[in-house]
Amino acid sequence: DPAELVKDEL
Binding residues vs other proteins (CB under 8 A): 1-3, 5-10
Amino acid type, 4: E
Write down the least CB distance from residue 8 to other proteins, Å: 5
d(CA 7, CA 10): 8
Least distance between other proteins and beta carbon 4 (Å): 9
Distance of alpha carbon 10 from alpha carbon 3, whole angstroms: 14
We find the least distance from the C-beta atom of residue 9 to other proteins, in angstroms, to be 7
